[in-house]
Structure 1
């Protein structure tokens, strides 16, 4: 892990206490860490009064130099839960609102929330660590996964997408090739163990989308500053890439009679704007149940870092076996997940260091640029050999790099009405498989390079 002039980060794992747990009387008081005061910690003493911890969730604690920005006493205390949660949700809401502006649409709500959280914590407005952040990572993030995947009926994907699914699979292979080439050219050795991990996370993002980037980063325990730098680089790359796709498709004609009506077209939020209370309550209950079942299986199998991949597998299986019942919950799931994922991005920014982002982002940017460039070359090359239509290749590549939302947006903007729903479905398919592909590719291929 790299260090910056501003902070040195220590990855610790924290476990939320249950009602039956009591705090050991022999535990020392860690007054410099407000978060640890409220958590039940298992520890053993070691030389030089260091502590060795063994927990199940990574949280970054920052130790700052006296000559730099003082965040020991931020404006919002780490112990002030109400104020912390207010700041997080306000940041997420501002991120969503920003997409109504020209600049916000260019850089995305996710990056706005990250940058706002990053600025607020480094300016001493909100804390770098707090109990709320642990709750977001431990509970809110896993809860968001099922809410985003209630439409992930794999039978419907295969049945409805036709050659677009083939083009999407070509794009997925192209991303894997692009990752290998980029890692050979830009190994990012300055990041240490985070190098192959962030490469895997970006690979997940360019097969499925942002939620896969988050899932792989969480499973591989990437440091928050590197995650934030990766998101910053990724958003710039995506903006450039989408402009390139539209330029390549500028001469492709629109369909004569576009038909964009369909329940899946409202992936963003419109379909869920008036989601009934019962539907919303049921969506939350089902999501909690899925998280409970998946985490129980992970504990039984002792599969470290497998929580989010396991949750993804369970919801995809349920959505495929019970498409009508689970799909009914999708509109409500879209609304809740849109909010909760923004809160996660706010926490991600708040946990990071501005200097680390500045120092780390350039190398990740170059890596991602090579990654998507090779992806596009391979997609267009293999697609031409297989005689696939250019619009299918461009839309599939869009679904790879940006996910279902950007794919449906491109199909609508270009007047390819018959491809709007298939574009969304292949995007959902990508979300369903990307975490597993990137996770194992990172461990068994990139890690040993």
Structure 2
């Protein structure tokens, strides 16, 4: 029987040589010489045998960067946002889209696109939406805001909103006991207070409380990321809970369609649209000037709402004439806002930076929902009032009005904004003092 001997593959090393002939115009010498050196022995002093191969290896390097649409690509970002909003509106013609609404579709699509690396999580275009397009949308949605017509429905919604504020306070306390976030040090109770302010009023209150309590910038950023993801998920849940609730009978859509018909042969629709935009810009300008004069931080949205509600109440015919055009433009711009809301939610940032903040916010909002549904049912409140009040708590007046508009609850659009503004006015103080006197001592 033959003896079995050990066998070792020869070691192979590879080098590329680019001789001076590369710069020659002679095509025959324009290829690099590739030589393999085969070591035929284990000994370090063994002879090296060069072997030539008539092959050229091409190394391909991917130039694909993520996100595909750069944050500096304003045209690309705006295209993605409006395309997302348009797709959300179109989706309501489908069976699934009509069940979950255009708003949820836009949020989901924006969230998926940003977390898949198609669009950025942060971009200057998003700031334009939040700082300019969003305030401009408020007057467009409130041209029907005659307070004499809507004050009757505000009472029950305000009660539901107050119950939601109590539910957020309870949720904050429970979440802090379960997830104390000790790894954040002193920032633990501070960020808990900031999230509490956000889930009573809105993002403005989150920033205000974070600034007042001097929360670390990295923790603030992680809280914003967690808040965006939680809000996106929560709004989907609210829309799902209200999927079987019917829309209100309204003729506003028919009026809008008639007035905006391009084949009507007159310029009424164009005049309405131009006037509505001009009035909206003027209202935003006046509100901004007042806020700057009195140096009220974060007061633009309340001031804009107050001015348009006063005008709509004092001049119902003149301002109401602009409502059809305002409804159409607001329907588009609010979908862009929902797309930005989804795109701003970075799941990876939440997981990597501060998962404890995400878990805290999840428990906080979950307890809020359980409490507001339980107490609302105990007080025999209408389910759509409870869901809208909860939306105003978690997302603020804009998301509440967006939900009312998307669900066809026309009579609750203005009350939803009004209770949201009320929440903004009280949330900062409630969360600030609750954090100092309760959370800090736990």
Give the TM-score range, shorter chain. 0.5 to 0.7
SS in 2 for 1:75: coil
Q: State the 1:72 CA deviation.
A: 6.1
Question: Displacement, 1:143?
Answer: 0.8
> Mean Cα displacement is larger for which, 335-344 or 182-191?
182-191
- Contact kept, 8 Å, 2:103 with 2:406, in 1: the verdict is no
Matched, 1:437 2:440: no
Hey, what does 1:348 align to over in structure 2?
341
Structure 2 equivalent of residue 147 of structure 1: 140
What residue number does 1:428 align with? 414
Which residue number in structure 1 is paired with residue 213 of structure 2?
none
SS state at 1:76 partner = coil
Out of 149, 164, 172, the position equivalent to 1:175 is 164
1:197–1:111 CA distance, 2 compared to 1 (3 A)? farther
Distance in 1 of aligned mates of 2:198 and 2:338: 15
TM-superposed CA distance for 1:290, in Å, is 0.7
Q: Which residue of structure 2 aligns with residue 230 of structure 1? A: 230
1:129 CA drift (Å): 3.9
> Aligned residue for 1:397?
386
Q: Is the 8 A contact 1:183 1:199 kept in 2?
A: yes
| Secondary structure at the counterpart of residue 100 of structure 1 | coil
Matches of 1:71 and 1:316, distance apart in 2: 50
Instruction: Give unmatched runs, 5+ long, in structure 2.
Output: 1-62, 182-186, 211-219, 261-268, 392-399
Task: Point out the more displaced range, 287-296 or 297-306.
Answer: 297-306
Q: Deviations over 1:129-151 (max 9, x none)?
A: 44323322221111111112222
Of 396-405 and 81-90, more deviation after overlay is shown by: 396-405
Distance in 2 (CA, whole Å) between partners of 1:240 and 1:82 is 34
Deviation at 1:296, TM superposition (A): 0.8
Distance in 2 (alpha carbons) for counterparts of 1:113 and 1:408: 14
Q: Equivalent residues in 2 for 1:246-285 (5 A)?
A: 262-263=250-251, 266=252, 271-273=255-257, 274-275=259-260, 276-285=269-278
Q: Post-superposition shift, 1:219?
A: 6.8
Tell me the CA shift for residue 292 of structure 1: 0.5
- Aligned pairs, number: 333
TM-superposed deviation, 1:340:
1.2
Distance 1:126 1:404 in 2: 26
Indicate yes or no: 2:175 matched with 1:186: yes
Aligned partners of 2:66 and 2:374: how far apart in 1? 51
Q: What is the TM-score of this pair, normalised by structure 1?
A: 0.63
CA RMSD, 1 decimal: 3.6
Q: 1:282 to 1:113 in 2, by over 3 A?
A: same
Task: Give the TM-score normalised by the residue count of structure 2.
Answer: 0.64
Using a 3 Å threshold, how does the CA distance of structure 1 residues 74 and 365 change in structure 2: closer, same or farther?
A: closer
Q: Residue 305 of structure 1: which of 294, 298, 308 is its match?
A: 298
* Structure 1 segment 198-217 matched on structure 2, within 5 A: 198-204=195-201, 213=202
Distance, in Å, in 2 between the alignment partners of 1:397 and 1:126 is 34
Report if the CA contact (8 A) 2:204-2:424 is conserved: no
3-state SS in 2 of match to 1:305: coil
Structure 1 Cα separation of the partners of residues 166 and 77 of structure 2:
42
- Distance in 2 between the 1:83 and 1:113 partners? 17
Residue 337 (structure 1) aligned with residue 321 (structure 2): no
Determine the C-alpha separation between the residues in 2 that align with 1:133 and 1:394.
33
The gaps in structure 1 that reach 5 residues or longer are 1-69, 205-212, 247-253, 255-259, 384-389, 413-422
Deviation by residue 1:238-271 (Cα, 9 ceiling, x = unmatched): 145437x96xxxxxxx9xxxxx7654xx4xx554
For 2:147 and 2:161, how far apart are their aligned partners in 1?
17
Give the match for residue 25 of structure 1. Answer: none
Partner of 1:61: none
Aligned residue among 120, 123, 131 for 1:138: 131
